[in-house]
């Protein structure tokens, strides 16, 4: 079971992720950006979290962020189709 403090500290990140996913889907649905551009945006976001050569706690967080974004990209292969 997740501790209440963990939920409160995690909720803003989950909310931000949900908002961003919804915005990307809406932009794609409205044909303001292509599915390829959606994937590019997500790849750029993941790229910002790739290892920078330091062994710190943030590096572990960065790896987890990349995993989450990669999962969104994989799921988006069907969601972002025109």
Please write the tens of the pLDDT for every residue from 10-44. 889 989 999 998 999 899 999 999 999 999 999 99
Distance of CA 14 to the CA centre of its chain: 10
pLDDT exceeds cutoff 60 at 51: yes
User: Which residue, 14, 2, 6, is CA-closest to 65?
Assistant: 14
Name which residue leads in pLDDT, 55 or 8. Answer: 8
> The pTM is what?
0.75
Residue-range definition of the domain harbouring residue 26: 4-79
Tokens of 32: 């303001």
Domain count within the chain:
1
Reported as a single tens digit per residue, the pLDDT across 68-82 is: 999 988 887 656 555
Supply the pLDDT for residue 53.
56
């Amino acid at each position: 079971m997740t501790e209440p403090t963990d939920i409160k500290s995690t909720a803003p990140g989950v909310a931000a992720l949900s908002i961003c996913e919804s915005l990307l889907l809406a932009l794609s649905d409205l044909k303001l950006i292509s599915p390829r551009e959606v994937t590019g945006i997500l790849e750029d976001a993941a790229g910002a979290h790739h290892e920078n050569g330091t062994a710190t706690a943030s590096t572990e967080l960065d790896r987890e962020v990349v995993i989450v974004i990669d999962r969104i990209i994989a799921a988006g292969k069907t969601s972002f189709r025109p």
